[in-house]
Chain A
Amino acid sequence: MIDLLTQPFLRNILVAGVLVAIGLSTWSGYVVLRRIVFTGAAVAEVASAAVALAVLFQLAPFPIALGLTVLTFLALSRVTDSKRLPPETMVGMLYAGGAAASVLLIAKAPRGEAEILNILFGNILTVPVSLLWLMAGVFGALLLLQYFAAKEFLISAYDPDMGRALGIRVGLWNMIFYGALGVAVAVAIRSVGALLTFAMLVAPGASALCLTNRLSRVGKLATLFGVAASLIGIAVSYQYDLPTGSTIVALLVAIFAVSFAMSAIRRAH
């Protein structure tokens, strides 16, 4: 770990890991409770397809991915249960469509495969300093939004009828929630890729929900788990020459497994 702190290149990785952990794990409790875990996965695929599309037409990938990610989240937030199909169907179709579109578009892209894969899936090892600043700014602003809009986000998901009866604009706050989540996902995918983004968006919150009966503690515990998995994951991957993103994801899953087991044991007694 001392080595990691003394080398600027590795310091950037640590900063990126911590920023992504803070930026996404604070949302993860909401993602689990709102039952939009797979929406996160589907949107990640759509973001990847958007990047591939931008590469194919030689456009700036990030604004395209950002715009499409936010739009997809907003569109999915408006999908309601129809008589014929449950809303998960749309999520599944987007996931499959996004994944297929990414592969098809890459096949026709003019750049080298490694470069495209880097742009498409992100890589925590190659995050430039400019992106670190972007992450710090965006995630910081979104944290402030979460802090001040906590009651609006909660009532809009937990009891929307009560919220409307109290005069809270539930539809608007749901749109703000999904829009903000879309921005967080787009920035994270650009930085660290779809797999780590998806894992950070689900696992820390799920682990925290296993261990606490207080909603106010879920965000703090989730952040702790996310940051710990990032720091330990980076150190372990450096020490044992393992892929960094996957090592962090494996640690997040391990934390969830332990939390889930502890919760089950506590319930049994």
Chain B
Amino acid sequence: MADELLRSRSLSVGYGQHVVLHSIDIAIERGDFLGIMGPNGAGKTTLLKTLLGLLKPLAGRIDVASSVKPGAGLFGYVPQRESLDLHYPLTAVEVAIMGRYGRLGPLRRPRTLDRKIALDSLAQTRMEAFADTPYRNLSGGQKQRVLIARALASEPQILLLDEPTNGMDVNSERAIMELLTELQTTKQTTVVFVTHLLSTIERYARRVALITFDGRILVGEKQAMLKPDVLAGAYRARAAEDQPDVAGKL
């Protein structure tokens, strides 16, 4: 069996009494490159927030491998960049250094070492030249790199990204996904991302989790998961209206 970092068992996720996804059995393995795909509103972000511990599971449980220290350092979270307020006058390195906050403890201020780690993380995402540039002045792709650097600065076991290429042009999307691929292959970073784009999954994911029309998740190797009959079973009638790129595959 592969080196599992995390496994959900019969997990149900949602808000209040409303179950969005159910019966989720999904494992994240060390060095994984897992793409979670589903149409907009299918529950991808809800699942992600439950894995992060931001939402409580409605049923089932999430087991973390005993080799993994719980709390700070398990996940490096990269939110949708549109969720951040651009009124805040923060430079790229000030954003990246936030990744260190969980390791500092309450009322401790970042030290020189934390700034160095943040700068190293910016270097990993090729943003070191922009360290002192205001975050709000960066392009969409550059902002995403800074947010990935922030997640890396927390020295996580798993990099968890919410729609990392949403709203990007083709070149920026390719650059971001190639950066993630490089991190996975050269640093053995475990990457989990959610997307509604089949093309992104098709090109970059190694394993795929498909959110089905009835709120379940099918997980497997990419080649097996992207077969037309599997996609047809997962999406049924929704694909034609919600996922035209998936519909084209059926």
Chain A residues with Cβ below 8 Å from B52 are 161, 164-165
Partner of A162, one of B77, B89, B107, B109: B77
User: Does B87 contact A209, Cβ atoms closer than 8 Å?
Assistant: yes
Tell me if A166 is interfacial: C-beta within 8 Å of chain B: yes
Query: Could you give, for residues 198-229 of chain A, a 1 whenever the CB lies within 8 Å of some chain B CB and a 0 otherwise?
Result: 00000000000100111110100000000000
B interface, how many residues as a size bin? 20 to 34
Partner of A166, one of B72, B79, B91: B72
User: Does A165 contact B53, Cβ atoms closer than 8 Å?
Assistant: yes
Tell me the smallest distance from the CB of A146 to a CB of chain B, in Å.
Answer: 11
Q: A155-B98, A166-B72, A214-B89 are in contact. Are A161 and B154 (CB under 8 A)?
A: no
Chain B residues with Cβ below 8 Å from A215 are 88-90, 94
Q: A165-B54, A209-B89 are in contact. Are A159 and B102 (CB under 8 A)?
A: no
User: Does A159 contact B106, Cβ atoms closer than 8 Å?
Assistant: no
C-alpha spacing A128/B249, complex, angstroms:
79
Chain A residues with Cβ below 8 Å from B137 are 213
List residues 142-169 of chain A with CB under 8 A from any CB of chain B. 147-152, 154-155, 158-159, 161-168
List residues 53-77 of chain B with CB under 8 A from any CB of chain A. 53-54, 71-72, 75, 77
Tell me if B134 is interfacial: C-beta within 8 Å of chain A: yes
Tell me the smallest distance from the CB of B28 to a CB of chain A, in Å.
Answer: 15
Tell me if B129 is interfacial: C-beta within 8 Å of chain A: no
Chain B residues with Cβ below 8 Å from A32 are 87
Among B71, B83, B102, the one with the most A-chain Cβ atoms within 10 Å of its Cβ is B102
Partner of A161, one of B79, B101, B110: B79
Q: What's the tally of chain A residues with a CB closer than 8 Å to chain B?
A: 27
User: Whose C-beta in chain B lies nearest to the C-beta of A150?
Assistant: B109
Tell me the smallest distance from the CB of A159 to a CB of chain B, in Å.
Answer: 6
User: Whose C-beta in chain B lies nearest to the C-beta of A166?
Assistant: B102
Tell me if B113 is interfacial: C-beta within 8 Å of chain A: no
Query: Could you give, for residues 90-118 of chain A, a 1 whenever the CB lies within 8 Å of some chain B CB and a 0 otherwise?
Result: 00000000000000000000000000000
Tell me if A75 is interfacial: C-beta within 8 Å of chain B: no
Tell me if A33 is interfacial: C-beta within 8 Å of chain B: yes
Tell me the smallest distance from the CB of A94 to a CB of chain B, in Å.
Answer: 24
User: Does B110 contact A151, Cβ atoms closer than 8 Å?
Assistant: yes
Chain A residues with Cβ below 8 Å from B101 are 151-152, 155, 163, 166, 168
Tell me if B170 is interfacial: C-beta within 8 Å of chain A: no
Chain B residues with Cβ below 8 Å from A214 are 89, 91, 94
Partner of A158, one of B71, B77, B88, B154: B88
List residues 76-133 of chain B with CB under 8 A from any CB of chain A. 77, 79, 83-85, 87-91, 94, 98-99, 101-102, 104, 106-110
Chain B residues with Cβ below 8 Å from A168 are 101-102
User: Does B85 contact A33, Cβ atoms closer than 8 Å?
Assistant: yes
Partner of A149, one of B71, B75, B89, B107: B107
Tell me if B196 is interfacial: C-beta within 8 Å of chain A: no
User: Does B54 contact A151, Cβ atoms closer than 8 Å?
Assistant: no
Tell me if B22 is interfacial: C-beta within 8 Å of chain A: no
Partner of A33, one of B54, B77, B83, B87: B87
Chain B residues with Cβ below 8 Å from A164 are 52-54
C-alpha spacing A167/B72, complex, angstroms:
6
Tell me if B49 is interfacial: C-beta within 8 Å of chain A: yes
Tell me the smallest distance from the CB of B38 to a CB of chain A, in Å.
Answer: 20
Chain A residues with Cβ below 8 Å from B108 are 151
C-alpha spacing A159/B99, complex, angstroms:
11
A-B pairs with lowest CB-CB distance, top 3:
A166-B102, A213-B134, A165-B77
Residues of A near any B CB (own CB < 8 A): 32-33, 147-152, 154-155, 158-159, 161-168, 209, 212-216, 218
Residues of B near any A CB (own CB < 8 A): 49, 52-54, 71-72, 75, 77, 79, 83-85, 87-91, 94, 98-99, 101-102, 104, 106-110, 134, 137, 150, 154
**Cβ contacts A to B, 20 pairs, < 8 Å:** A32-B87, A147-B109, A148-B109, A151-B98, A151-B104, A152-B101, A158-B84, A158-B88, A158-B98, A159-B83, A161-B49, A161-B79, A162-B77, A164-B54, A165-B75, A167-B71, A168-B101, A214-B89, A214-B94, A215-B89
Given contacts A163-B101, A165-B52, A167-B102, 13 further A-B contacts (CB under 8 A): A149-B106, A149-B107, A150-B109, A155-B101, A158-B88, A158-B98, A161-B49, A165-B75, A166-B98, A166-B102, A213-B89, A214-B94, A215-B89
